[in-house]
Amino acid sequence: MSSYFTDLAQQYIDGEWRPGTGSWDIIDFNPYDGEKLASITIATVDEVDEAYQAAARAQKKWAATNPYARRAVFEKALRIIEDREQEIAEVIVAELGGTFLKAGFELHLVKEFLREAIHLALRPQGKIIPSPVDGKENRVYTVPVGVVGVISPFNFPLLLSLKSVAPALALGNGVVLKPHQNTPIVGGSLVAKIFEDAGLPGGLLNVVITDIAEIGDAFIEHPIPKVISFTGSDKVGRHVATVCASHFKRAVLELGGNSALVVLDDADIDYAVDAAVFSRYVHQGQVCMAANRVLVDRAIADEFTEKFVTKVKSLKVGDPRDPQTVIGPVINSQQADALSGVVEQAIAEGATALVHGTTTDNLVAPSVLTDLPADSDLLRQEVFGPVAFLITFDGEEEAVALVNDTPYGLSGAVHTGDIERGVNFAKQIDTGMFHVNDGTVHDEPIVPFGGEKSSGLGRLNGESMLDAFTSLKWISVQHGRSGFPF
C-alpha cells in the first residue's frame, strides 16, 4: 500500500509523472492516526495551463478514434480495479479514514460506473430531421464538448472522480482532474494510474494536485475547458457557477444536501430504524445524501426513538482498519471541531441530547438530538457528520412542509406500509431524488442523479451524461439549388 503514496505523490500532465513547481507542499495525512502518507509539491497556474493544453491536443485524435477502440480502455480499467481491489481498499481506508465496509461500497459503485462507461462510448447517435425546404437534409450530430475540467470532493473521491472522468473520456473528450487536497491520491493520481495502465493515450487525462490559494480561479476560468463538473459544497458550487457563467461555460454541479428520512404511522418501525441509522451514519455522515433529519409521526415516535437510540449506541467508533468499526474518523480536525460546535449549539438552543457523542482527535462519536426549536438554522443546513436530528410531526401534511423547509433538495426517503402512499408523498417533495421504503443514500449508473434548489444544477448518470459532456451540431445539406430572395 505504501507504494501508492510514494509512487503517485506527483502531478500527471501530458502522460508524464512529475513534481509540481509550486513553492509549498500539500501534506496527505491519515485522518485516524495522523500518519504522514505523502508530500506533494503543488501545481501552479502554469501547470494547470499545460494540463489543459495537453488535453486539447490529445482530444482531437481521441474523438476521431473508433468508439469500439475507446471502449477497450474502459474494459481494461475495470479489470485493473478488480485485480487490485484489496490494495485500493487499503488506500481508501488510509487516506479517507473510511471503514473497509465503506471502501467496499465505493469500489462496488466504481465498477458499476465503469461498466456503464464501456457502453456509453457507443451511445452518441446522430439524427436526420425533416426540413420545410425542398431538397434540404438536416443532420444533427452528437459531438464531444472538447475538454472537461473535473473537481472532485474528499468523501467518495475515487467514485466521484471516475463518475465524471470516465463518461467524459468515453464520449470523446479530454479531461483535467483536480482532486480535493485531503484525498489527492485516491481522488486524483490513482485515477490517472488506472487509466495509464489501461492504455489511455497520454495527454487525454491530466491530474493537477493544487489549492486555490495557489491558482485562484485559474482552473475554471481557463479558456480551454467547455464544461466544469464540480462536486462539493453549495457555497463553493455557487462560486463555480458564477465564474462559469461569466465565461460561457457549462457547469454541472453536484452539491450538498439536507435530506430527510420520514417515518409515517404505518411504517415497519424496525426496518425504518435500520434505514435511518445507515442513512445518517454511513461513512461518518460525510455523504451529501445522508439523512440529516429523521422525521417520525408522533403516533409511533416513542417506539421508534427508543429503538433508534439503542442502535446508534451500538455503533462501534474507532480504527477504520478494524472490521468491526462502523464510525471512523472524519476527514480533518476542522471538520471534527465544527461538528462538536453543531452539537453544543443545538443544546444551547434547547435541544435534548439523547446520545451525546464525544470527540477525540478526528473521531466524532454519534449524537442524536431532539426537541430542537423549529426555527433553528441547524435544521436547514447541511451537517456533514454523525449528528442526527429527530423531529416529530402530526400527519403527512406537516411532514411534507417540514421536509421542504430547507434550501436544499438532493435526496430523501419515506417509510410506509402503503407503497402508493409513499409515492404520493415523494411527489410533493422538492428534491431531485426520493426513495420509498429505503435509505436516502443511493446511486446507480443509469438513473438521473442530481438535486434541486441549492443542491445543484444538471444531472449525471446514464443518458444525462450525454447532456453533460456532449453538444449537438447541426449540419445541413442542400440537394439541388436553393433559392435566395436577392
- For 247-300, the pLDDT digits (tens) are 999 999 999 999 999 999 999 999 999 999 999 999 999 999 999 999 999 999
How much is the average pLDDT of 195-209? 98
pLDDT at 102: 96
In the sheet that 136-144 helps form, which strands lie side by side, from edge to edge? Answer: 127-129, 136-144, 470-478
pLDDT at 395: 96
pLDDT at 118: 95
The closest of 220, 226, 111, 209 to 172, measured between CA atoms, is 226
How much is the average pLDDT of 412-421? 98
How much is the average pLDDT of 70-81? 97
Residues of the chain with CATH 3.40.309.10: 259-436
What's the rounded Cα separation, in Å, for the pair 123 and 262? 38
pLDDT at 483: 87
DSSP three-state, residue 261? strand
What's the rounded Cα separation, in Å, for the pair 236 and 153? 11
The closest of 413, 341, 353, 417 to 378, measured between CA atoms, is 341
What's the rounded Cα separation, in Å, for the pair 104 and 404? 33
Whether the pLDDT of residue 421 is over 90: the answer is: yes
Write the CB contacts of 344 (distance below 8 Å, at least 6 apart in sequence): none
Q: Band the pLDDT of 155: cuts 50, 70, 90.
A: very high
pLDDT at 38: 97
Please calculate the CA angle 287-329-230 and round it to the nearest 5 degrees: 35
pLDDT at 304: 98
With residue 450 as reference, give the H or E element that holds it: none
What's the rounded Cα separation, in Å, for the pair 46 and 65? 29
**Torsion sign over Cα 415, 420, 425, 428:** positive
Domain 259-436: state its class: alpha beta
DSSP three-state, residue 33? coil
Q: Roughly how many angstroms between the first and final C-alpha of the chain, as a whole number?
A: 74
Cell, residue 334: 476542522
Q: Band the pLDDT of 189: cuts 50, 70, 90.
A: very high
Q: CA dist 374 to 339, 405, 407, 408, Å?
A: 20, 10, 15, 17
Q: DSSP character for 346? A: H
With respect to CATH, is domain 2-255+455-474 assigned 3.40.605.10? yes
pLDDT at 448: 97
| 129: β partners | 138
How much is the average pLDDT of 64-82? 97
Instruction: Answer yes or no: are the C-beta atoms of 367 and 388 closer than 8 Å.
Output: yes
Tell if the pTM clears 0.95, that is, is over it: yes
Cell, residue 87: 490494495
- Among residues 214, 244, 288, 382, which one is catalytic? 288
Residues of the chain with CATH 3.40.605.10: 2-255+455-474
Determine whether 244 is an active site residue: no
Q: DSSP character for 146? A: S
Q: Which pLDDT tens digit goes with each residue over 97-120?
A: 999 999 999 999 999 999 999 999
How much is the average pLDDT of 451-480? 97
| 172: β partners | none
DSSP 397-440: HHHHHHHH-SSEES--EEE-S-HHHHHHHHHTS-SS--EESS-S
Q: DSSP character for 317? A: B
How much is the average pLDDT of 182-204? 98
How much is the average pLDDT of 243-247? 98
Q: Band the pLDDT of 2: cuts 50, 70, 90.
A: confident
In the sheet that 259-263 helps form, which strands lie side by side, from edge to edge? Answer: 352-355, 367-370, 387-393, 291-297, 259-263, 413-415, 435-436
Instruction: Answer yes or no: are the C-beta atoms of 20 and 209 closer than 8 Å.
Output: yes
Q: Band the pLDDT of 384: cuts 50, 70, 90.
A: very high
Whether the pLDDT of residue 321 is over 80: the answer is: yes
The closest of 35, 64, 111, 118 to 321, measured between CA atoms, is 35
Instruction: Answer yes or no: are the C-beta atoms of 38 and 6 closer than 8 Å.
Output: yes
Q: CA dist 422 to 351, 394, 403, 414, 427, Å?
A: 29, 16, 14, 6, 9
- Among residues 47, 50, 95, 254, which one is catalytic? 254
Give the max Cα distance, the chain.
84
How much is the average pLDDT of 432-452? 97
What's the rounded Cα separation, in Å, for the pair 33 and 441? 28
In the predicted model, what is the mean pLDDT of the chain? 97
pLDDT at 402: 98
